Amino acid sequence: MAEISLGRALNRALHDALDGDPDVLVYGEDVGALGGVFRVTDGLTATFGEDRCFDSPLAEAGIVGTAIGIAMYGQRPVVEMQFDAFALPAFEQVVSHVAKMRNRTRGRVELPLVIRIPYGGGIGAVEHHADSSEAYFAHTPGLRVVTPATPADGYSMLREAIECPDPVVFLEPKRRYWATADIELPVRTEPMDRAVVRRPGTDVTLIAYGPMVATALEAAEAGQREGRDIEVIDLRSLSPFDEETVTESVRRTGRAVVVHEASTFGGYGAEVAARVTEQCFHYLEAPVLRVGGLDIPYPPPKLESYHLPNADRILDAIDRLQWESEWVPGGTGGQPPLHQTGVGA
């Protein structure tokens, strides 16, 4: 066993995928000599040569567009978008072609490509370096959209994404790049399209993914001290959505809160809340709540802590789940005081 960060686990996954299959290619901006701005591709060019891991022109639509052609010819490109908002020039290629190629050709052409996007905030980055674009991608049929929250999942899910015959948008929670775990690589965790219960509990289900899984676990720990037994689900796959795991949990706990750091309005959490309500209505003790980022453009770094959900906001939401019979929706009576756990942020 060794202490391994998410960033190193992803690096090892790319290394092992390149080693195991000559059709795997890694390219993007600065992924060669520099090893990527987050060093996720560190050492790959040195080990495998310029033919397998290389710098491309600085052009995201071109990177994804050429990856489509490479995948059409039966190879497996893994491309890096460097930062979330910089993936937007490639959005048309992703939505109009990557997501649809299998369907428009009646299954005759598949695109086994992976688009890696470091996403989300919390690292003090400037504008356009901290967005969460998962809802845009998850809204598009034909894409698989996944996001690991742990080093073990980082390794396992990236290997699986590269092996997958479908195109995968692989969202890397950049503020967890340096989070470590004591694991032995290579490792294979649960299948990529399954959610997992990170922490069992009986009172309420927290549904989180990517950067918010750790925050949800913090909240659950703090909640434990207040006598709440909180279950935490890590979705892992945003599309397809693992309804089975989520539904089973919420039917058991009767309460659910969805947590993500992207802006709340029209966000991925709305989809989860709607589905949970449809599937679990008669088991619910309270409405499904969302804890998401503020509905503002991503804030400047010195203000981002006001935007990002933390453990306190999650615990406040849990408190609003009608634990007390005197609580009136929309009213103020009976509502407990806001939490100040000092954890999170």
Partner 1 sequence: MKRTDELAGSAPPLPSQEPIRLVDPQGHRVGEAEYLTPEPGTLLALLRAMIIGRRFDRQASALARQGRLAVYPSSHGQEACQVGGVLALADDDWLFPTYRDCVSLVTRGVDPVEVLTLLRGDWHSGYDPEPHRCAPQCTPLATNASHAVGLTYAARRKGQDAAALVLMGDGATSEGDAHEAYNFAAVWNTPVVFLIQNNRWAISVPVDKQTAAPTLAHKAIGYGMRGYNVDGNDAAAVHAVVSHALAEARAGGGPAIVEAQTYRLDPHTNSDDPQRYRDDAEVEYWKARDPLTRLEALLRGEGLLDDAEVERMSAEGERLAADVRERLSGPDRLTPEELFSHVYSTAPAMLRRQRQELLDEMRKG
- Interface residues with partner 1 (CB under 8 A)? 25, 51, 56-57, 59, 61-62, 64-75, 77, 89, 92-93, 96-97, 100-110, 141-142, 144, 164-166, 193, 240-241, 243-244
307 is catalytic: no
Least distance in angstroms from the C-beta of 107 to partner 1: 4
C-beta of 209: minimal distance to partner 1 in Å? 17
Q: Which is nearer to partner 1, 43 or 141 (CB)?
A: 141
For residues 161 and 167, give the distance between their C-alpha atoms in angstroms, rounded to a whole number. 8
User: Could you say which of 15, 129, 260, 339 is catalytic?
Assistant: 129
Dihedrals phi, psi of 197, to nearest 5 degrees? -85, 115
b/e sequence 28-49, b meaning 16+ C-beta within 10 Å: bbbbbeebbbbbbbbebbeebe
Q: 233, 205 in Cβ contact below 8 A?
A: yes
CB 272 within 8 A of CB 336: no
**Identity of the residue numbered 217:** L
> Which element (helix H / strand E) includes 244?
helix 243-253
Residue closest to 260 by CA, chosen among 251, 275, 273, 242: 273
Return d(Cα 68, Cα 75) in angstroms, integer.
10
CB nearer to partner 1: give 110 or 229. 110
- Residue 101 CB, shortest distance to partner 1, in Å, is 8
Instruction: Please say whether the beta carbons of 178 and 7 come within 8 A.
Output: yes
Biggest CA-to-CA distance, the chain: 67
Q: Which is nearer to partner 1, 168 or 318 (CB)?
A: 168
Which CB sits closer to partner 1, 137 or 298? Answer: 137
Least Cβ distance, residue 105 to partner 1 (angstroms): 6
Q: Which is nearer to partner 1, 22 or 200 (CB)?
A: 22
Q: How far apart are CA 206 and CA 209, in angstroms?
A: 10
CB 266 within 8 A of CB 236: no
Query: With contact defined as beta carbons under 8 Å apart, do 182 and 1 qualify?
Result: yes
How far is residue 215 CA from its own chain's centroid? 13
Q: Are 157 and 148 in contact (CB under 8 A)?
A: yes
CB of 108 to partner 1, least distance (A): 5
Of 104, 199, 76, 102, residue with least CA distance to 149 = 199
Distance in Å, CB of 241 to partner 1, minimum = 7
Q: Which is nearer to partner 1, 39 or 102 (CB)?
A: 102
* Residues forming the active site: 129
